[in-house]
Amino acid sequence: MHVLDIILKKRNGGSLSKEEIEFFISGYVGGNIPDYQLAALLMAIWFEKMDERETAELTFAMRDSGDIIDLSDVPGPIVDKHSTGGVADTTTLIAAPIVAACGIKVAKLSGRGLGHTGGTIDKLESIPGCRTDIEMSRFKQIVSECGMSVAGQTNELVPADKLLYALRGATGTVDNLSLISSSIMSKKLASGSDTIVLDVKVGNGAFMKERKNGEELAAAMVSIGKMADKKTVALVTDMNQPLGNAVGNALEVQEAIEILQGQHDGDLKDVSIALASQMILISELVEDEPAAIAMVKEALESGKALVQLAKMIEAQGGNPEVCNDTTLLPKADTILSITSQNEGYISDVMTNEIGMAALLLGAGRATKADTIDPAVGIWMKKRLGDRVEIGDELAIFYVNDTKKLEQAKSRFTHALVLGDQPPKKNPLIYAKIS
């Protein structure tokens, strides 16, 4: 078998066999196929697409390129949850403790933030002492004993994805349905959970801008899950404004804790409840959605979910007292109020620009090598559709380094578009794909 034959076959619109897909994945990971040939194949895939079977075979080959976590010795149902990313999306730190409080294990391997999107690992590491670089044996132990663990992905897990992702970014082949879905699902399948709940974000702060494309991605990933004999469901949710009010690592942890304490309502809480309900439903703990929602609300209102989060934080070396006292989280030196210079209704929010404003303050990374400041970020005071008068507070900026403060302020204020009328409100959850 020769890689050139595989390139030509796909370039000419052919369907690649399981053996051909396994050949080029193992060859590339093993260093036997050079970047330029894989780049040509990726471009052929981008133009000619992959069918449902090819996409699943690609996913399985990537999954099998490294370690696969075996959670079979962890008692009880185990569920994993994944979001395709956005701004102020802290659902994991809310939904996972809720589900764990209901008796279902949550085993989640997460990544770091890059660009305008935040990473769950960065958020957790803003908690004093909390570690996410834990051995897989300890990860399994924490899942078994505490009901949940969120840890960083190891280098041995799906090495093919790391290599392909970097090459896709350098060759303009990121936005292909098969390549996106195989990247996400190969990691989910290698993580060892029984069931998978996906949150596919759609809107100007998400990778998928259009609902149609988001639903296609959700359907592709659910199909892969089913072909792998994993119960999988996806919610397609709105990301046309930050999901929560806090944008920045310690601030987002604070908001998640305060929601678990019962202090806040809003979009972040609502999506977290919806995801937690699906995690319970897919684990077959209850028979229908109303029963799952009732179970979720009881875990929240009783305080059991907050206790679960504290248990995991302590097990991973962090200070569990943050769940009672969020002032123990890192704090910025300077707090600035950002006020409106105009009046009107917030008719549009350029969500990615708000994420970039937080990045300029030091809350995010422009490249993987960048360091972040866990204390800085933005707490929004107005949301889409709100009426704004001159002098009204739009947000609070939490700042340590002022070098790029003016740029951040400019990007933030321009991200809130004012109009004469309130906008038509999008649904928070567009669809469920199962």
Average pLDDT, the chain: 95
Superfamily of domain 330-419: Pyrimidine nucleoside phosphorylase-like, C-terminal domain (3.90.1170.30)
Domain ranges of the chain: 3-48, 78-323, 330-419
Average pLDDT over residues 189-198: 94
The catalytic residues are 82, 161, 168, 183, 187
Between the alpha carbon of residue 377 and those of residues 80, 331, 336, 395, the distances in Å are: 28, 10, 11, 10
Q: Is 277 helix (H, G, I), strand (E, B) or coil?
A: helix
3-48 CATH choice from 3.90.45.10, 1.20.970.10, 3.30.428.10, 1.10.10.10? 1.20.970.10
DSSP state of 320: G
Between the alpha carbon of residue 342 and those of residues 176, 349, 418, the distances in Å are: 41, 15, 8
Average pLDDT over residues 174-192: 93
Q: Is residue 239 within 8 Å of 203, Cβ to Cβ?
A: yes
Q: Would strands 148-152 and 105-110 be described as parallel, antiparallel, or unpaired? A: parallel
Give pLDDT, residue 110: 87
Give pLDDT, residue 116: 62
Question: Strand (E) positions, 146-253?
Answer: 148-152, 195-202, 231-238, 246-247
Instruction: Kindly provide the b/e burial profile for residues 94-110, where b requires at least 16 CB atoms within 10 angstroms of the residue's own CB.
Output: bbbbbbbbbebbbbbbb
Q: Confidence class of residue 317 from pLDDT cuts 50, 70 and 90?
A: very high
DSSP state of 390: T
Give pLDDT, residue 311: 98
Between the alpha carbon of residue 336 and those of residues 85, 134, 406, the distances in Å are: 27, 37, 12
DSSP state of 326: G
H/E segment holding residue 142 = helix 136-146
The strand pairing partners of 238, in sequence order, are 202
pLDDT tens sequence across 263-279:
999 999 999 999 999 99
Give pLDDT, residue 371: 86
Give pLDDT, residue 115: 61
Give pLDDT, residue 114: 62
| Residue 328 in tokens | 């123990």
Give pLDDT, residue 107: 95
Contacts of 2 (CB under 8 A, 6+ apart): none
Average pLDDT over residues 402-415: 97
pLDDT at 419 over 70: yes
pLDDT at 389 over 80: yes
Question: Strand (E) positions, 350-392?
Answer: 377-380, 387-388
What is the signed CA dihedral for 151, 157, 158, 160, rounded to 10 degrees? Answer: 120
Between the alpha carbon of residue 21 and those of residues 1, 6, 53, the distances in Å are: 11, 9, 11
Give pLDDT, residue 292: 97
Q: Confidence class of residue 282 from pLDDT cuts 50, 70 and 90?
A: very high
Fold of 78-323: Pyrimidine Nucleoside Phosphorylase; Chain A, domain 2 (3.40.1030)
H/E segment holding residue 371 = none
Give pLDDT, residue 412: 98
Average pLDDT over residues 166-185: 92
Contacts of 206 (CB under 8 A, 6+ apart): 84, 85, 86, 214, 239, 351
pLDDT at 191 over 80: yes
Between the alpha carbon of residue 163 and those of residues 177, 187, 388, the distances in Å are: 18, 13, 47
Q: What percent of the chain has pLDDT over 70?
A: 98
Give pLDDT, residue 207: 87
| Residue 427 in tokens | 């649904």
pLDDT tens sequence across 358-385:
999 999 887 767 789 999 999 999 999 9
Average pLDDT over residues 233-251: 97
Q: Structure pTM? A: 0.94
Cα-only R_g, the chain:
22
Q: What percent of the chain has pLDDT over 90?
A: 90
Average pLDDT over residues 319-332: 98
Average pLDDT over residues 111-120: 72
Q: Confidence class of residue 153 from pLDDT cuts 50, 70 and 90?
A: confident
Give pLDDT, residue 304: 98
pLDDT tens sequence across 52-101:
999 999 999 999 999 999 999 999 999 999 999 899 999 999 999 999 99
Contacts of 391 (CB under 8 A, 6+ apart): 339, 340
Alpha-carbon span 408 to 305, nearest angstrom: 35
Q: Is residue 220 within 8 Å of 177, Cβ to Cβ?
A: yes
